[in-house]
Structure 1
Amino acid sequence: MTRFTIPAPGIHREQIEIKRSRFIGSIAHTPQADDARAFIKQMKDQYADATHNCWAYVAGPPGDTRMVGLSDDGEPHGTAGKPMLTVLLHSGVGELTCVVTRYYGGTKLGTGGLVKAYSQAVEAVLKRMPRSQYVPSVQVETGIDYQIQTLFRKRVEEYGIAIEEEVFSDRVQYLLTVPEDQYSAFEKALLDLSNGRSVLSRL
Protein backbone atom coordinates (compact mmCIF):
# COMPACT_ATOMS: atom_id res chain seq x y z
CA MET A 1 0.00 0.00 0.00
CA THR A 2 1.28 3.47 -0.87
CA ARG A 3 0.94 6.80 0.89
CA PHE A 4 -2.28 8.72 0.34
CA THR A 5 -4.10 11.84 1.46
CA ILE A 6 -6.43 11.80 4.48
CA PRO A 7 -8.24 14.54 6.43
CA ALA A 8 -6.18 16.27 9.10
CA PRO A 9 -7.22 15.45 12.70
CA GLY A 10 -10.40 17.00 14.03
CA ILE A 11 -13.86 17.73 12.64
CA HIS A 12 -13.97 19.98 9.59
CA ARG A 13 -17.22 21.86 9.04
CA GLU A 14 -18.75 24.31 6.56
CA GLN A 15 -22.29 25.57 6.06
CA ILE A 16 -24.18 26.61 2.96
CA GLU A 17 -27.72 27.96 2.61
CA ILE A 18 -30.06 27.23 -0.31
CA LYS A 19 -33.60 28.64 -0.36
CA ARG A 20 -33.51 29.10 3.42
CA SER A 21 -32.51 25.47 4.05
CA ARG A 22 -29.23 25.21 5.93
CA PHE A 23 -26.84 22.42 4.95
CA ILE A 24 -24.01 21.80 7.43
CA GLY A 25 -21.25 19.52 6.17
CA SER A 26 -19.00 17.79 8.71
CA ILE A 27 -16.01 15.64 7.73
CA ALA A 28 -13.62 13.59 9.89
CA HIS A 29 -10.84 11.07 9.38
CA THR A 30 -12.34 7.59 9.86
CA PRO A 31 -9.90 4.77 9.01
CA GLN A 32 -12.39 1.94 9.53
CA ALA A 33 -16.13 1.43 9.00
CA ASP A 34 -16.60 1.29 12.79
CA ASP A 35 -14.95 4.71 13.09
CA ALA A 36 -17.30 6.01 10.39
CA ARG A 37 -20.36 4.71 12.20
CA ALA A 38 -19.18 6.22 15.49
CA PHE A 39 -18.69 9.63 13.85
CA ILE A 40 -22.11 9.44 12.19
CA LYS A 41 -23.71 8.71 15.57
CA GLN A 42 -21.81 11.61 17.12
CA MET A 43 -23.13 14.01 14.48
CA LYS A 44 -26.68 12.65 14.74
CA ASP A 45 -26.59 13.18 18.50
CA GLN A 46 -25.15 16.67 18.10
CA TYR A 47 -27.78 17.64 15.51
CA ALA A 48 -30.68 15.62 16.88
CA ASP A 49 -33.11 18.45 16.11
CA ALA A 50 -32.19 18.57 12.40
CA THR A 51 -34.58 17.60 9.62
CA HIS A 52 -32.06 15.17 8.11
CA ASN A 53 -28.54 13.89 8.86
CA CYS A 54 -27.42 12.29 5.59
CA TRP A 55 -24.04 10.63 5.33
CA ALA A 56 -21.46 8.84 3.23
CA TYR A 57 -18.07 7.34 3.98
CA VAL A 58 -15.03 5.77 2.31
CA ALA A 59 -13.11 3.48 4.68
CA GLY A 60 -10.09 2.98 2.45
CA PRO A 61 -7.70 4.74 0.07
CA PRO A 62 -8.98 7.49 -2.25
CA GLY A 63 -11.54 6.17 -4.74
CA ASP A 64 -11.67 2.70 -3.15
CA THR A 65 -15.24 1.36 -3.35
CA ARG A 66 -14.68 -1.86 -1.38
CA MET A 67 -15.71 -0.35 1.97
CA VAL A 68 -18.21 2.45 1.52
CA GLY A 69 -21.53 3.43 3.04
CA LEU A 70 -24.29 5.98 2.51
CA SER A 71 -27.71 7.05 3.72
CA ASP A 72 -30.39 9.47 2.52
CA ASP A 73 -31.83 9.63 6.06
CA GLY A 74 -35.38 10.28 4.89
CA GLU A 75 -34.62 12.41 1.84
CA PRO A 76 -35.96 11.03 -1.49
CA HIS A 77 -33.99 7.95 -2.56
CA GLY A 78 -30.70 8.74 -4.28
CA THR A 79 -30.78 12.50 -3.64
CA ALA A 80 -28.32 12.75 -0.73
CA GLY A 81 -26.12 9.78 0.19
CA LYS A 82 -25.27 8.77 -3.37
CA PRO A 83 -24.19 12.23 -4.62
CA MET A 84 -22.27 12.75 -1.37
CA LEU A 85 -20.41 9.46 -1.88
CA THR A 86 -19.66 10.36 -5.50
CA VAL A 87 -17.99 13.60 -4.38
CA LEU A 88 -15.95 11.75 -1.73
CA LEU A 89 -14.80 9.08 -4.19
CA HIS A 90 -13.55 11.73 -6.61
CA SER A 91 -11.95 13.96 -3.97
CA GLY A 92 -8.51 12.32 -3.92
CA VAL A 93 -8.88 11.87 -0.15
CA GLY A 94 -9.28 8.54 1.64
CA GLU A 95 -10.51 7.26 5.00
CA LEU A 96 -13.16 9.92 5.54
CA THR A 97 -16.79 10.31 6.51
CA CYS A 98 -19.08 13.21 5.71
CA VAL A 99 -22.37 13.96 7.44
CA VAL A 100 -24.54 16.68 5.92
CA THR A 101 -27.09 18.05 8.34
CA ARG A 102 -30.13 19.78 6.86
CA TYR A 103 -32.43 22.21 8.59
CA TYR A 104 -35.44 22.57 6.30
CA GLY A 105 -36.22 26.15 5.33
CA GLY A 106 -39.77 25.72 4.07
CA THR A 107 -39.10 25.50 0.33
CA LYS A 108 -38.84 22.16 -1.46
CA LEU A 109 -35.78 21.87 -3.68
CA GLY A 110 -36.88 19.00 -5.91
CA THR A 111 -34.82 15.94 -6.77
CA GLY A 112 -32.23 17.77 -8.86
CA GLY A 113 -31.98 20.58 -6.34
CA LEU A 114 -31.33 18.15 -3.49
CA VAL A 115 -28.60 16.32 -5.41
CA LYS A 116 -26.91 19.63 -6.14
CA ALA A 117 -27.30 20.91 -2.57
CA TYR A 118 -25.85 17.81 -0.90
CA SER A 119 -22.99 17.67 -3.40
CA GLN A 120 -22.18 21.33 -2.81
CA ALA A 121 -22.26 20.86 0.97
CA VAL A 122 -19.60 18.14 0.75
CA GLU A 123 -17.53 20.15 -1.73
CA ALA A 124 -17.62 23.20 0.55
CA VAL A 125 -15.96 21.25 3.37
CA LEU A 126 -13.42 19.56 1.11
CA LYS A 127 -12.41 22.90 -0.40
CA ARG A 128 -11.19 24.30 2.94
CA MET A 129 -10.33 21.09 4.79
CA PRO A 130 -6.67 20.70 5.84
CA ARG A 131 -5.04 17.48 4.67
CA SER A 132 -2.60 15.00 6.13
CA GLN A 133 -0.82 11.89 4.83
CA TYR A 134 -1.41 8.24 5.63
CA VAL A 135 1.99 6.55 5.69
CA PRO A 136 1.94 2.72 5.75
CA SER A 137 4.58 1.62 8.25
CA VAL A 138 6.06 -1.39 9.99
CA GLN A 139 7.46 -1.79 13.50
CA VAL A 140 10.94 -3.26 13.80
CA GLU A 141 13.56 -3.94 16.44
CA THR A 142 17.30 -3.55 16.06
CA GLY A 143 20.43 -3.16 18.13
CA ILE A 144 23.46 -1.01 17.38
CA ASP A 145 26.93 -0.43 18.81
CA TYR A 146 27.45 2.77 20.77
CA GLN A 147 30.09 4.14 18.42
CA ILE A 148 27.62 4.47 15.53
CA GLN A 149 24.73 5.92 17.56
CA THR A 150 25.13 9.49 16.28
CA LEU A 151 25.25 8.39 12.65
CA PHE A 152 22.38 5.97 13.27
CA ARG A 153 20.17 8.77 14.57
CA LYS A 154 20.98 10.84 11.49
CA ARG A 155 19.89 7.95 9.25
CA VAL A 156 16.70 7.54 11.27
CA GLU A 157 15.86 11.21 10.72
CA GLU A 158 16.74 11.05 7.01
CA TYR A 159 14.34 8.17 6.41
CA GLY A 160 11.44 9.65 8.40
CA ILE A 161 11.58 6.93 11.05
CA ALA A 162 10.05 7.26 14.52
CA ILE A 163 11.95 5.98 17.58
CA GLU A 164 9.39 4.33 19.87
CA GLU A 165 11.80 2.91 22.46
CA GLU A 166 15.52 3.26 23.21
CA VAL A 167 17.16 0.91 25.74
CA PHE A 168 20.81 1.11 26.78
CA SER A 169 22.58 -2.14 27.66
CA ASP A 170 25.67 -3.74 26.13
CA ARG A 171 24.32 -2.24 22.88
CA VAL A 172 21.60 0.31 22.20
CA GLN A 173 18.31 -1.47 21.49
CA TYR A 174 15.64 0.28 19.44
CA LEU A 175 11.98 -0.15 18.65
CA LEU A 176 11.28 1.77 15.45
CA THR A 177 8.33 2.62 13.22
CA VAL A 178 9.60 2.59 9.63
CA PRO A 179 7.61 3.80 6.59
CA GLU A 180 7.11 0.77 4.35
CA ASP A 181 8.36 2.59 1.28
CA GLN A 182 11.64 3.37 3.11
CA TYR A 183 12.18 -0.06 4.66
CA SER A 184 14.49 -1.60 2.05
CA ALA A 185 16.64 1.51 1.70
CA PHE A 186 16.96 1.92 5.47
CA GLU A 187 17.77 -1.77 5.92
CA LYS A 188 20.65 -1.47 3.44
CA ALA A 189 21.87 1.78 5.02
CA LEU A 190 21.91 0.14 8.46
CA LEU A 191 23.84 -2.88 7.21
CA ASP A 192 26.41 -0.58 5.59
CA LEU A 193 26.66 1.63 8.68
CA SER A 194 27.12 -1.28 11.07
CA ASN A 195 29.28 -3.45 8.80
CA GLY A 196 26.57 -6.09 8.93
CA ARG A 197 26.32 -6.20 12.74
CA SER A 198 22.84 -4.64 12.92
CA VAL A 199 19.75 -6.08 11.27
CA LEU A 200 16.06 -5.20 11.32
CA SER A 201 13.57 -7.64 12.84
CA ARG A 202 9.95 -7.09 11.88
CA LEU A 203 7.42 -7.44 14.67
Structure 2
Amino acid sequence: MSETYYFAYQGGTGEIVEKKSRFIATVAPIASEEEALRFIEQTKKQYWDARHNCTAFTLGSRHQLTRCSDDGEPAGTAGRPMLDVLLKENIHNVAVVVTRYFGGTLLGTGGLVRAYSKAVQTGLAASVILERQAGIRLEISADYGDLGKIQYLMGQQQIPTLNSSYTDSVYLEALVPASLLDSFCQDLTEGTAGKAVLTKGDACSYAVYKGDILLFDREDTL
Protein backbone atom coordinates (compact mmCIF):
# COMPACT_ATOMS: atom_id res chain seq x y z
CA MET A 1 0.00 0.00 0.00
CA SER A 2 1.03 3.61 -0.23
CA GLU A 3 2.44 5.33 2.85
CA THR A 4 -0.72 7.41 3.29
CA TYR A 5 -4.26 7.51 2.00
CA TYR A 6 -7.58 9.06 2.94
CA PHE A 7 -10.66 7.25 4.19
CA ALA A 8 -14.16 8.08 5.35
CA TYR A 9 -14.30 8.04 9.15
CA GLN A 10 -17.80 9.48 9.48
CA GLY A 11 -20.36 9.90 6.74
CA GLY A 12 -22.41 12.97 5.96
CA THR A 13 -25.09 14.41 3.69
CA GLY A 14 -24.85 17.30 1.26
CA GLU A 15 -27.34 18.78 -1.20
CA ILE A 16 -27.23 20.95 -4.30
CA VAL A 17 -29.95 22.24 -6.65
CA GLU A 18 -29.46 22.47 -10.39
CA LYS A 19 -32.32 23.88 -12.50
CA LYS A 20 -34.82 22.86 -9.81
CA SER A 21 -33.52 19.29 -9.60
CA ARG A 22 -32.38 18.33 -6.10
CA PHE A 23 -29.24 16.23 -5.78
CA ILE A 24 -28.76 14.76 -2.30
CA ALA A 25 -25.42 13.05 -1.65
CA THR A 26 -25.29 10.57 1.23
CA VAL A 27 -21.81 9.34 2.17
CA ALA A 28 -20.90 6.42 4.44
CA PRO A 29 -17.72 4.61 5.52
CA ILE A 30 -17.65 0.94 4.51
CA ALA A 31 -15.41 -2.02 5.31
CA SER A 32 -16.77 -4.60 2.85
CA GLU A 33 -18.84 -4.97 -0.29
CA GLU A 34 -21.69 -6.28 1.84
CA GLU A 35 -21.68 -3.10 3.92
CA ALA A 36 -21.68 -1.01 0.75
CA LEU A 37 -24.64 -2.85 -0.75
CA ARG A 38 -26.54 -2.68 2.53
CA PHE A 39 -25.96 1.07 2.78
CA ILE A 40 -27.06 1.58 -0.81
CA GLU A 41 -30.23 -0.43 -0.27
CA GLN A 42 -31.09 1.46 2.93
CA THR A 43 -30.57 4.81 1.22
CA LYS A 44 -32.73 3.79 -1.73
CA LYS A 45 -35.50 2.83 0.69
CA GLN A 46 -35.16 6.19 2.44
CA TYR A 47 -35.53 8.03 -0.86
CA TRP A 48 -37.93 5.57 -2.48
CA ASP A 49 -39.89 8.35 -4.20
CA ALA A 50 -36.89 9.85 -6.03
CA ARG A 51 -36.37 9.58 -9.79
CA HIS A 52 -32.80 8.25 -9.44
CA ASN A 53 -30.50 6.90 -6.73
CA CYS A 54 -27.09 6.71 -8.38
CA THR A 55 -24.24 4.99 -6.55
CA ALA A 56 -20.49 4.58 -6.33
CA PHE A 57 -18.11 2.96 -3.88
CA THR A 58 -14.47 2.01 -3.56
CA LEU A 59 -12.81 -0.48 -1.24
CA GLY A 60 -9.23 -1.31 -0.34
CA SER A 61 -5.99 0.57 0.18
CA ARG A 62 -5.34 0.43 -3.58
CA HIS A 63 -8.98 0.78 -4.73
CA GLN A 64 -9.07 -2.94 -5.41
CA LEU A 65 -12.86 -3.06 -5.65
CA THR A 66 -14.89 -0.28 -7.26
CA ARG A 67 -18.50 -0.22 -8.40
CA CYS A 68 -20.88 2.43 -9.75
CA SER A 69 -24.38 2.70 -11.18
CA ASP A 70 -26.23 5.31 -13.24
CA ASP A 71 -29.61 4.01 -12.02
CA GLY A 72 -31.49 5.06 -15.15
CA GLU A 73 -29.57 8.22 -15.98
CA PRO A 74 -27.86 8.27 -19.41
CA ALA A 75 -24.86 5.95 -19.41
CA GLY A 76 -21.73 7.50 -17.97
CA THR A 77 -23.38 10.66 -16.64
CA ALA A 78 -23.78 9.76 -12.95
CA GLY A 79 -22.13 6.69 -11.43
CA ARG A 80 -18.79 6.97 -13.19
CA PRO A 81 -18.36 10.70 -12.53
CA MET A 82 -19.25 10.04 -8.88
CA LEU A 83 -16.62 7.31 -8.66
CA ASP A 84 -14.09 9.52 -10.42
CA VAL A 85 -14.45 12.11 -7.63
CA LEU A 86 -13.68 9.47 -4.99
CA LEU A 87 -10.65 8.24 -6.94
CA LYS A 88 -9.36 11.73 -7.71
CA GLU A 89 -9.61 12.71 -4.03
CA ASN A 90 -7.87 9.40 -3.16
CA ILE A 91 -10.57 8.48 -0.64
CA HIS A 92 -10.87 4.79 0.21
CA ASN A 93 -13.46 2.57 1.90
CA VAL A 94 -16.33 4.90 1.13
CA ALA A 95 -19.73 4.65 -0.54
CA VAL A 96 -21.95 7.44 -1.83
CA VAL A 97 -25.52 7.57 -3.09
CA VAL A 98 -26.68 10.65 -4.97
CA THR A 99 -30.45 10.93 -4.97
CA ARG A 100 -32.06 13.04 -7.67
CA TYR A 101 -35.51 14.57 -7.44
CA PHE A 102 -36.23 15.71 -10.99
CA GLY A 103 -37.13 19.38 -11.30
CA GLY A 104 -38.67 19.29 -14.75
CA THR A 105 -35.71 20.63 -16.75
CA LEU A 106 -33.29 18.38 -18.63
CA LEU A 107 -29.64 19.10 -17.82
CA GLY A 108 -27.97 17.39 -20.76
CA THR A 109 -25.11 14.94 -20.43
CA GLY A 110 -22.53 17.58 -19.47
CA GLY A 111 -24.88 19.13 -16.94
CA LEU A 112 -25.57 15.76 -15.35
CA VAL A 113 -21.86 14.95 -15.05
CA ARG A 114 -21.20 18.29 -13.38
CA ALA A 115 -24.21 18.00 -11.06
CA TYR A 116 -23.44 14.48 -9.84
CA SER A 117 -19.76 15.31 -9.38
CA LYS A 118 -20.55 18.47 -7.46
CA ALA A 119 -23.06 16.63 -5.28
CA VAL A 120 -20.43 14.06 -4.27
CA GLN A 121 -17.99 16.84 -3.40
CA THR A 122 -20.65 18.46 -1.24
CA GLY A 123 -21.35 15.18 0.53
CA LEU A 124 -17.65 14.62 1.19
CA ALA A 125 -17.34 18.14 2.58
CA ALA A 126 -20.06 17.25 5.10
CA SER A 127 -18.25 14.05 6.12
CA VAL A 128 -15.17 13.40 8.25
CA ILE A 129 -12.32 12.33 5.97
CA LEU A 130 -9.08 11.34 7.69
CA GLU A 131 -5.57 10.57 6.55
CA ARG A 132 -4.40 7.07 7.37
CA GLN A 133 -0.67 6.48 7.35
CA ALA A 134 1.77 3.67 7.95
CA GLY A 135 3.53 3.82 11.30
CA ILE A 136 6.04 1.98 13.46
CA ARG A 137 5.95 1.67 17.22
CA LEU A 138 9.34 2.76 18.55
CA GLU A 139 10.42 2.06 22.14
CA ILE A 140 12.84 4.62 23.57
CA SER A 141 14.78 4.06 26.79
CA ALA A 142 16.94 6.91 28.05
CA ASP A 143 18.28 8.78 31.06
CA TYR A 144 16.38 11.74 32.44
CA GLY A 145 19.12 14.04 31.23
CA ASP A 146 18.17 13.26 27.62
CA LEU A 147 14.39 13.57 28.09
CA GLY A 148 14.24 17.22 27.07
CA LYS A 149 16.08 16.56 23.83
CA ILE A 150 13.89 13.56 23.02
CA GLN A 151 10.70 15.52 23.69
CA TYR A 152 11.98 18.37 21.55
CA LEU A 153 12.67 16.06 18.59
CA MET A 154 9.29 14.37 18.95
CA GLY A 155 7.50 17.71 19.13
CA GLN A 156 9.43 19.06 16.16
CA GLN A 157 8.23 16.20 13.97
CA GLN A 158 4.80 15.91 15.65
CA ILE A 159 5.39 12.33 16.74
CA PRO A 160 2.86 11.19 19.36
CA THR A 161 3.55 9.18 22.51
CA LEU A 162 1.52 5.99 22.97
CA ASN A 163 2.87 4.96 26.38
CA SER A 164 5.38 6.22 28.91
CA SER A 165 6.84 5.35 32.28
CA TYR A 166 9.22 7.24 34.53
CA THR A 167 11.13 5.13 37.03
CA ASP A 168 14.90 4.94 37.36
CA SER A 169 15.02 5.84 33.68
CA VAL A 170 12.64 7.11 31.04
CA TYR A 171 10.63 4.79 28.81
CA LEU A 172 8.58 6.11 25.90
CA GLU A 173 6.67 4.31 23.18
CA ALA A 174 6.46 6.61 20.17
CA LEU A 175 4.36 6.24 17.04
CA VAL A 176 6.59 7.17 14.14
CA PRO A 177 5.45 7.56 10.51
CA ALA A 178 7.18 4.80 8.55
CA SER A 179 8.63 7.33 6.13
CA LEU A 180 10.38 9.16 8.99
CA LEU A 181 11.63 6.18 10.99
CA ASP A 182 15.24 6.08 9.79
CA SER A 183 15.83 9.82 9.97
CA PHE A 184 14.11 10.10 13.37
CA CYS A 185 16.20 7.29 14.83
CA GLN A 186 19.32 9.00 13.52
CA ASP A 187 18.24 12.29 15.09
CA LEU A 188 17.63 10.57 18.43
CA THR A 189 20.98 8.80 18.31
CA GLU A 190 22.84 12.00 17.51
CA GLY A 191 20.82 14.11 19.95
CA THR A 192 21.52 11.78 22.87
CA ALA A 193 25.10 10.95 21.83
CA GLY A 194 24.06 7.34 21.33
CA LYS A 195 22.81 6.90 24.90
CA ALA A 196 19.14 6.35 24.00
CA VAL A 197 18.23 2.71 23.41
CA LEU A 198 15.86 2.36 20.45
CA THR A 199 13.79 -0.75 19.79
CA LYS A 200 11.61 -0.98 16.72
CA GLY A 201 8.22 -2.49 17.45
CA ASP A 202 5.26 -3.60 15.37
CA ALA A 203 4.14 -1.96 12.17
CA CYS A 204 0.67 -0.49 12.19
CA SER A 205 -1.33 2.26 10.57
CA TYR A 206 -3.02 5.19 12.25
CA ALA A 207 -5.00 8.37 11.86
CA VAL A 208 -5.44 11.42 14.07
CA TYR A 209 -8.91 12.78 14.88
CA LYS A 210 -9.40 15.74 17.20
CA GLY A 211 -6.06 15.05 18.81
CA ASP A 212 -6.81 11.36 19.43
CA ILE A 213 -4.78 8.56 17.86
CA LEU A 214 -6.81 5.94 16.00
CA LEU A 215 -4.74 2.77 15.65
CA PHE A 216 -5.27 0.10 13.01
CA ASP A 217 -3.13 -2.94 13.72
CA ARG A 218 -3.94 -4.72 10.48
CA GLU A 219 -3.95 -3.23 7.00
CA ASP A 220 -6.79 -3.76 4.53
CA THR A 221 -6.33 -7.04 2.69
CA LEU A 222 -8.77 -6.19 -0.12
TM-score, normalised to structure 2's length? 0.68
1:15 paired to 2:10: no
- Displacement, 1:77? 4.7
Q: Which residue of 2 aligns with 1:180?
A: 178
Q: CA contact under 8 A between 2:14 and 2:26: conserved in structure 1?
A: yes
Q: Distance in 1 between matches of 2:44 and 2:98?
A: 13
Q: Which residue of 1 aligns with 2:55?
A: 55
Q: Distance in 1 between matches of 2:177 and 2:165?
A: 22
Q: For residues 44 and 31 of structure 1, do their structure 2 counterparts lie closer, same or farther at Cα, with a shift above 3 Å needed?
A: closer
- Displacement, 1:67? 3.2
Q: Which residue of 2 aligns with 1:193?
A: 191
Amino acid at match of 1:200: T
Larger CA deviation: 106-115 vs 147-156:
106-115
Q: Which residue of 1 aligns with 2:218?
A: none
Give the alignment partner of residue 163 of structure 1, picking from 136, 141, 161: 161
Q: CA contact under 8 A between 1:187 and 1:200: conserved in structure 2?
A: no
Identity level (%) = 30
Q: Distance in 2 between matches of 1:132 and 1:55?
A: 22
- C-alpha RMSD of the superposition: 3.6
Q: Which residue of 2 aligns with 1:40?
A: 39
Q: Which residue of 2 aligns with 1:144?
A: 142
Secondary structure at 1:160 match in 2: coil
Deviations 1:66-112 (A, max 9, x none): 3322233454554421121123323x342244321223445665666
Larger CA deviation: 96-105 vs 41-50:
41-50
Q: Distance in 2 between matches of 1:69 and 1:127?
A: 21
Q: CA contact under 8 A between 2:159 and 2:176: conserved in structure 1?
A: yes
Q: Distance in 1 between matches of 2:177 and 2:41?
A: 32
Q: Distance in 1 between matches of 2:18 and 2:177?
A: 45
TM-score, normalised to structure 1's length? 0.73
Q: CA contact under 8 A between 1:140 and 1:175: conserved in structure 2?
A: yes
Between the two proteins, the alignment pairs up a number of residues equal to 198
Secondary structure at 2:198 match in 1: coil
Larger CA deviation: 33-42 vs 156-165:
33-42
Amino acid at match of 1:143: S
Q: Distance in 2 between matches of 1:38 and 1:153?
A: 47
